[in-house]
Structure 1
Amino acid sequence: MSTSAAERPTGPAVRTVLGDLDPADLGVCDAHDHLFLRSPRLAGQELDDVAAAAAELAAFRSAGGASVIQWTPYGMGRRAAELPRLARESGVRIVAATGLHQAVHYAPEVLERVRADLAGVFVGELTEGIGRTGVRAGMIKVAGGFHGLDRHARYTMAAAAEAQHATGAAIGVHLELGTGAPAVLDLLCGELGVAPDRVILGHLNRSPDGVVHRMAAEAGAYLAFDGPSQTHHATDWRLPDALAALTEAGFGDRILLGGDTTTAGARSVNGGPGMPFLLRHHRERLEIALGPALVTQFLTTNPARAFAADWARPAPTVQTS
């Protein structure tokens, strides 16, 4: 799955852990998920088991999946060194993330360490590699707060915007309980000059506000509806209506779907829905409501555009042999 210099795309490309990829080759994509994830808020439920990650990828592949975008950012246990082997052995293309989550997910000393040049950290991980692994990130992940942006969020988004301008990478945004999209777009696209189609708003299914969805789509951002089967959020049962409304308004090309597996217990190999749920059950429900062609667009065409970038600083492809 690695890409040689001769095969490397000359136009926009999706930056995977095995090299840059022609967007047309991304295939059926889980646009927001996690193979590895650690946080003080997930004590005892960390995603840190390499064998379990491999099994989850195999299950996703058997359900028809071709690619996974891992939104795990800096300092949250990305296990970047493991990702190329997992991608190679599973046949699933993996995109890793740089970026920074909410402050609550980090020890104070970690935030202090990166604060001096946060944009430089992001750019380095996108163009040179994560740590000493040589594995390059292919997107930037940041986070807002509940209906607003605190000082930490504004700082990390400013760094993300600087890195986006330097590299072309897409910025994925964790919206707390699906809220705060207008504030995020005002900051990133209004004040900081990020093109709206370089912004992916995550967790919009958690706040089924059709007006906000429509406003975000009209602004030109991508809308990620992720985390199906999470019963503590307004997710599955309201989603077909939300997606139908957006599509009828002409915004079917803005919609992305993801699984957002965040705990060990949620993995399919541990009895939870996990990554395969998106394709084994969620897709079927949406196809009944919306039609197979539209759902295929959400899972293939849209993510191929959303995560592709005109990379401003090409770097050598990761060698994993």
Structure 2
Amino acid sequence: MTGRSAASGVGRGGSTGIRRIRTVLGDIEPAELGVCDAHDHLFIRTPKLPGQELDDAEAARAELVSFARAGGRAVVQWTPWGMGRRRAELPGLSRDTGVHLVAATGLHQAAHYDPAELSTVCGDLAELFVRELTEPPVRAGMIKAAGDFHHAGEHSRHVLAAAADAHRATGAPIGVHLEAGTAAGDVLAVLCDEHNMPPESVILGHLHRFPDTRIHREVAAAGAYVQFDGPSRVHHATDWRLLDSIAALVDAGHADRILLGADTVTPSMRATGAGPGMPFLVGGLRARITRELGDDVATAVFVANPARAFAAEWR
């Protein structure tokens, strides 16, 4: 297998041998994470959704309070660099609501950025990612990258390579946006075959938007985490397959690879809008998973799996 070495410009620190989750208030033991929304957004802006920005701190606080009242304990915000993530405000929201927050560094598809803005960082992405993962006051706890529709294009491969470099330097997990749930195998091959990423440090997002259970089983068997989102009005076309997709992985012996997130990307998707938002994930959907698939599966999806997926031996 081929891979980029740490000599590509990013230094390598020594591993501690102790796995912790990096939140915006500091590192915590995996057992402290609790019931987790493994993929969501408190703040986000993109030219692909003009006028639908998540940029209201009070609305974000209200969503977190509702999430906590429903039994939620942690949220992983996948909003990466340059998309209005308002990183400096996350510690205050975490303290005010008692919800653990994990922030992201990384880069989305080029279409989510102004070209001039994007050109300022593309030359030294790995260094940017490492800096945001390791330097206070607010450190990211994961790296966000993205694939393209049924393939990994030039920009995607550039970001994935930088993310792999940053992983080697820090230990941080990598979460990948899969466009319409496609190209899971291609993305995993780029990270693991070309760049020697351990698959257990890779989270493949949005797979229930492409409900091919064969592909889900293949990437889970390879060791990557399979992340489903929903339900929501935006992705309702495949919401009805969510439980079937989870059940297929459980039946194949991969209950330990499943993650679930609400992926709220517009104000209307919040509980204060048309919903159902973060609270439904743990207050409604978790109950259904428990009823239909058992408490052990629900605990794996919402507690045990995210505690492993987002933990790292930080360097």
Residue type matched to 2:249 in 1? L
- Quote the residue 1:294 is aligned against: 297
Whether 1:247 aligns to 2:250 is: yes
Q: CA deviation at 1:229?
A: 2.6
Q: CA deviation at 1:270?
A: 2.3
Whether 1:14 aligns to 2:26 is: no
Secondary structure, aligned partner of 2:278:
coil
Distance 1:264 1:283 in 2: 23
- Quote the residue 2:211 is aligned against: 208
- Quote the residue 2:61 is aligned against: 54
* 8 Å Cα contact 1:227-1:235 kept in structure 2: no
- Superposition pairs of residues 7-156 of structure 1, within 5 angstroms: 11-129=18-136, 134-156=137-159
Gapped runs of 5+ residues in structure 1? 1-8, 313-321
Distance 2:297 2:280 in 1: 18
Q: CA deviation at 1:264?
A: 0.9
- Superposition pairs of residues 295-310 of structure 1, within 5 angstroms: 295-310=298-313
Misfit runs of 4+, over 2 Å? 229-236
- Quote the residue 2:11 is aligned against: none
Q: TM-score, normalised by structure 1?
A: 0.91
Distance 1:118 1:256 in 2: 27
Deviation string, structure 1 residues 98-149 (Cα, Å, up to 9, x no partner) = 00000000001111100121100000000014xxxx2000000000000001
Distance 1:146 1:74 in 2: 21
Task: Report the CA distance shift for 1:208/1:78 in structure 2 as closer, same or farther (over 3 A).
Answer: same
Q: CA deviation at 1:42?
A: 1.4
Secondary structure, aligned partner of 1:117:
helix
Distance 2:193 2:236 in 1: 30
Q: TM-score, normalised by structure 2?
A: 0.93
Distance 1:136 1:47 in 2: 21
* 8 Å Cα contact 2:220-2:257 kept in structure 1: yes
* 8 Å Cα contact 2:289-2:297 kept in structure 1: no
Q: CA deviation at 1:289?
A: 1.6
Residue type matched to 1:12 in 2? R
* 8 Å Cα contact 1:206-1:233 kept in structure 2: no
Distance 1:102 1:277 in 2: 28
Q: CA deviation at 1:73?
A: 0.2
Task: Report the CA distance shift for 1:310/1:165 in structure 2 as closer, same or farther (over 3 A).
Answer: same
- Alignment root-mean-square deviation, CA: 1.2
Q: CA deviation at 1:231?
A: 5.2
Distance 1:227 1:240 in 2: 11
* 8 Å Cα contact 1:210-1:242 kept in structure 2: yes
Task: Report the CA distance shift for 1:220/1:300 in structure 2 as closer, same or farther (over 3 A).
Answer: same
Q: CA deviation at 1:41?
A: 1.0
Number of residue-to-residue matches in the alignment: 300
Task: Report the CA distance shift for 1:189/1:234 in structure 2 as closer, same or farther (over 3 A).
Answer: farther
Distance 1:64 1:250 in 2: 27
Whether 1:180 aligns to 2:183 is: yes
Distance 1:23 1:10 in 2: 14
Q: CA deviation at 1:293?
A: 2.0
Secondary structure, aligned partner of 1:98:
strand
Q: Identical aligned pairs, as a percentage? A: 60
